[in-house]
Amino acid sequence: MSVFRRSQRDSWAMRPGDNKKVDSEYVRKGTCSIFAFVEPLGGRHHTSVREHRTAVDWAEEIKYMVDEMYTKAEKIILVMDNLNTHKPSSLYKAFKPEEARRIIKKLEIHYTPKHGSWLDIAEIELNVMTRQCLSRRIPDIETLRKELSAWESERNNSYALVNWQFRTSDARIKLASLYPKL
């Protein structure tokens, strides 16, 4: 979720040539949701901004990914968190059953463990996005869409790969409490 903020007061310099001082008070102008897809080995990134984060919003984003981003793919492997809307049933809320089944057949879905967002590459990408693009006051959804579009283009043009280092053997140590005792 992203929050729109506008400064309550203008920033000012104490003396000519000094850095401007920014008052921490702001006016909250609303919220929105950011959806992010990351292809870790291909360096492809996609973000979109929506006013809400409903099951239908998620389903429409997945349809876009299947029909526009990966039209030739036979199978798309999705790794994502356990958010209540991130379920195949959401596709049935948004589309006719035949369309929902068509989309689901192209997907292989894997969920990260609860409290395991640090394993979710999209969450890591959202962290990078926050530091590089969202760490300032953004007043409205249109400004956010423009900013994220520019950020996405730069990420894609720089071919920003994700060098994933976490292996199964690491998981058995780090996540020992989730594995059965043999």
Give the tens place of pLDDT for each residue, 96-140: 999 999 999 999 999 887 777 666 788 888 888 889 988 888 888
Identify the CA nearest to 95 among candidates 71, 47, 51, 61: 61
pLDDT at res. 40: 85
Angle 116-117-122 (CA atoms, 0-180°, nearest 5)?
Answer: 140
Q: How far apart are CA 99 and CA 95, in angstroms?
A: 6
* Amino acid letter for position 132: Q
Q: How far apart are CA 115 and CA 175, in angstroms?
A: 11
pLDDT at res. 118: 64
pLDDT at res. 7: 57
CATH number for the region 2-8+25-178 comes to 3.30.420
Cα 12 to chain centroid distance, Å, stands at: 34
Residues of the chain with pLDDT under 50: none
DSSP state of 139: -
Count other C-beta atoms under 10 Å from residue 14's C-beta: 9
pLDDT at res. 87: 95
Identify the CA nearest to 50 among candidates 40, 59, 41: 59
pLDDT at res. 163: 76
pLDDT at res. 13: 59
* Amino acid letter for position 62: I
pLDDT at res. 8: 56
pLDDT at res. 6: 52
